Structure 1
Amino acid sequence: MIKKNMAEDNINIKLTEENYMVENENGEMVPNYDLTMISFNDGDILKGRVVKIEKAEVLVDIGFKSEGVIPVSELSIRNSIKPEEVLNIDDVIEIMVLQKEDQDGRCILSKRRAEVEQNFDRVEKIFENNETIEGEAIECVKGGLIVDIGLRGFLPASLIDVRKTRELISYIGEKCVCKIIEVDRNRNNVVLSRKAIIEDERREQRKEVMDSMEVGQIRKGVITSIADFGAFVDADGVDGLVHISELSWNHVKHPSEVVEVNQEVDVEILDIDREKQRLSLGLKQTQKDPWVEKIKNYSNKDVVNGKSHKN
């Protein structure tokens, strides 16, 4: 566990002519180091005041013998950030100590890691309570997106949406409400799912719609995909299947002969599986049966000629 040092008390202390020198045990006047320097170790989280902003680094007064240094790479979880975009002179910020003294005697700090460490506490609580979290998609990486949730959350491409995912770059800048499905603090790893949120919402919407559905109703739908055995239809947000035998009154070798993806259709509800939230649908039932029209020209016991098309 990271120890938080109460450096905020030190940065507000001002040296005066009366307190900057003190008498030691030998009666000698020496600098008041207790007043001017704080005690801390690598890994501590301190507070400090921004005193200088440069292109490659930021200098912070933490009450130590010299200013601490935040390299630009340790400013934010977002890559390619400019110091002036996130900090101003005299800002009081929290930082983590990476090295109390490097080979040049500088104290190396990280604003990014302090924020990540503190946000992990919040993220773990959200995960434990099975709550949702919102963040902005900030970066495309192999296999998905990085989402800013106070730390770098990974949103796999397969968990972005219930439908086919758009080009990943098109999501950059969008706000995403996600469910946290994995947290590993030791590996600094948080995995998100936007798809889970959409599925939950669609499940509730489907239940409401299905409560209003009855066998025999005619509903509007859209063909979402085609298989050898039939066509899948989105009917008011509920998934349904039109079996190949229910596509047309005529013989159909393949569903693509009758329908195409994204085509709007009217379908009749043949059966409802409320547990699985699925429908069995018919397309031909919304059309006139050609055999009914043809037999109008005949009477019982009429003898007609015919030709066999299939043995």
Structure 2
Amino acid sequence: MTEQTSNQETTQQSNESTDQLHVGAIVEATVTAVAANVVHAEFGSQKIGQITRKEWSDVRLSTLEGVVAVGERILAKIIDLGDAAHPLQLSRKDAVNAETWAVLRERFEHQVTFPVKILSAVKGGLVADVEGLRAFLPASLIDFHFQSDLSIYEGKTIAVILTELDEQQRRLIISRKHAIEKEQQSLRTQKLREFEVGQIVTGTVARLTPFGAFIDLGGVDGLLHVSEMSFARVKSPEDVVHPGDQVRVKVLRIDPDQGKISLSMKLEDTNPWRSVSEQFHVGQIVSGTVKRLASFGAFVEVAPGIEGLVHISQLSSGRVESPAAVVTPGDQVRVKILELKPEEERMSLSIREAVKEQQKPAVTRQPTQTQTKAEPTSATLGELFGDVLREKFKL
């Protein structure tokens, strides 16, 4: 490098340094020391400036200790060049400029999760510093459960998401709960990739609802609908499972976008239809219980988990306007099996035909000669053998 080139670079650096050193300039600085009421920061060519507690943030702070750490990089605005007796003065809160708001809008629009340090607990929530701006975290957005003592969060760094942003009012609302939900959703999506439709897995019953149960599959909860708890009709989830139970379930559906997974306890090895042909056959008359009615007929359970349809035309020999006019759920009825399709889990039944079978007259068999029995009599021996004796002795 020639002396001329070196001089040119030195002059250029000097000019750049001079350009920076004017009131209103925004500089990038590194914190070198922290005291209760002042922070010292270095920028440019080893220039040192100080930021008072008042100029650190929009948030009113009692101390800077614990708020900022040595080595942190910040943006600061030169507010006083100082002199030989007074150090150069910087302001972090006044360094908030169009670029800062652009960054915040980007976070807000894309719901970016970022860390903040909680500075204080106030009435109704928590206060944090975000790029020199005061950000408020309402108590309702801290957690999913009510927090009675908010002071436990003071001094902690937590992940948040911006939920409201007003540049004119310099107003920021942040939410920890939204950040937790986003993280949980991300974890659910990752976990769901471990499952496949049709897979048999083991889980723990986490909680019950009127419509089913949620099964913890190890990081993600799947819904076991009440209709998928058994091949038999289930009135209430607690009739089948309880919180804490270990259950084997089959994965029915997976929705990665919604983070949902649907489950079933109706496994093939417990399917009563697999052995239905061993219990029933076409033409057989069996007893059953009316389970539910439809506009087109009634469903009758002939064995646990085995239901057949009695079509409205098979309810009675007469015309039937409504199944409810003939049967009611809970009725015990006799039905004749008209059709049986185990592979389709279908059985067609008839009350009408069962009644006809019962009304057929019984077939009486004529006794044979050897089966004919003498009618009982009270005659004496003389009466029984008198005719024989008279004939023999010509009496």
Q: TM-score range by the shorter chain?
A: 0.5 to 0.7
Is the radius of gyration larger for structure 1 or structure 2?
Answer: 2
Pair 1:253-2:316 in alignment: no
- Once the two structures are superposed, the pairs formed by residues 186-201 of structure 1 within 5 Å of their partners are 190=258, 197=263, 200-201=264-265
- Once the two structures are superposed, the pairs formed by residues 46-85 of structure 1 within 5 Å of their partners are 46-60=114-128, 64-65=131-132, 68-72=135-139, 74-75=141-142, 82-84=146-148
Pair 1:29-2:23 in alignment: no
How much has 1:95 moved relative to structure 2? 0.8
How much has 1:237 moved relative to structure 2? 2.1
How much has 1:260 moved relative to structure 2? 1.0
Q: What's 1:233 paired with?
A: 300
What secondary structure is seen at the aligned counterpart in 2 of 1:103? coil
| More divergent stretch after superposition (108-117 vs 212-221) | 212-221
Structure 1: give runs of 5+ residues left out of the alignment.
1-12, 139-143, 167-173, 185-189, 299-311
Q: What's 1:291 paired with?
A: 360
The C-alpha deviation readout for 1:188-238, integer Å capped at 9, x for no partner, is xx3857xx53xx433647x62012222247766432333565421244223
CA distance in 1, matches of 2:208, 2:118: 28
Q: Which is richer in helix? A: 2
Q: For residues 25 and 126 of structure 1, do their structure 2 counterparts lie closer, same or farther at Cα, with a shift above 3 Å needed?
A: closer
Count residues with an aligned counterpart: 246
| More divergent stretch after superposition (235-244 vs 283-292) | 283-292
Q: For residues 201 and 221 of structure 1, do their structure 2 counterparts lie closer, same or farther at Cα, with a shift above 3 Å needed?
A: farther
2:291 to 214, 224, 237: 224
Q: For residues 130 and 75 of structure 1, do their structure 2 counterparts lie closer, same or farther at Cα, with a shift above 3 Å needed?
A: farther
Matching residue's letter, 2:116: G
Matching residue's letter, 1:213: V
Q: What's 1:273 paired with?
A: 341
Please give the TM-score of this superposition, normalised by the length of structure 1. 0.53
How much has 1:123 moved relative to structure 2? 3.7
Kept in 2: contact 1:127–1:180 (CA 8 A): no
Q: What's 1:212 paired with?
A: 275
Q: What's 2:113 paired with?
A: 45
Identical counterparts, % of pairs: 20
- Once the two structures are superposed, the pairs formed by residues 167-182 of structure 1 within 5 Å of their partners are 182=255
How much has 1:24 moved relative to structure 2? 4.6
Q: What's 2:189 paired with?
A: 124
Q: For residues 89 and 120 of structure 1, do their structure 2 counterparts lie closer, same or farther at Cα, with a shift above 3 Å needed?
A: closer
CA distance in 2, matches of 1:136, 1:14: 52
Q: What's 2:180 paired with?
A: 115
Matching residue's letter, 2:275: S
CA distance in 2, matches of 1:208, 1:96: 48
CA distance in 2, matches of 1:269, 1:162: 25
Q: For residues 274 and 220 of structure 1, do their structure 2 counterparts lie closer, same or farther at Cα, with a shift above 3 Å needed?
A: same
Q: For residues 229 and 179 of structure 1, do their structure 2 counterparts lie closer, same or farther at Cα, with a shift above 3 Å needed?
A: closer
Q: What's 2:158 paired with?
A: 93
Kept in 1: contact 2:162–2:173 (CA 8 A): yes
Kept in 1: contact 2:160–2:176 (CA 8 A): yes
How much has 1:97 moved relative to structure 2? 3.7
How much has 1:268 moved relative to structure 2? 5.5
Structure 2: give runs of 5+ residues left out of the alignment.
1-31, 52-67, 76-99, 236-242, 367-395
Q: For residues 107 and 230 of structure 1, do their structure 2 counterparts lie closer, same or farther at Cα, with a shift above 3 Å needed?
A: closer
CA distance in 1, matches of 2:312, 2:163: 66
Q: What's 1:202 paired with?
A: 266
Kept in 1: contact 2:33–2:40 (CA 8 A): no
Matching residue's letter, 1:29: I
CA distance in 1, matches of 2:344, 2:151: 53
Q: What's 2:11 paired with?
A: none
What secondary structure is seen at the aligned counterpart in 1 of 2:349? strand
| More divergent stretch after superposition (116-125 vs 86-95) | 86-95
What secondary structure is seen at the aligned counterpart in 1 of 2:271? helix
Kept in 2: contact 1:54–1:83 (CA 8 A): no
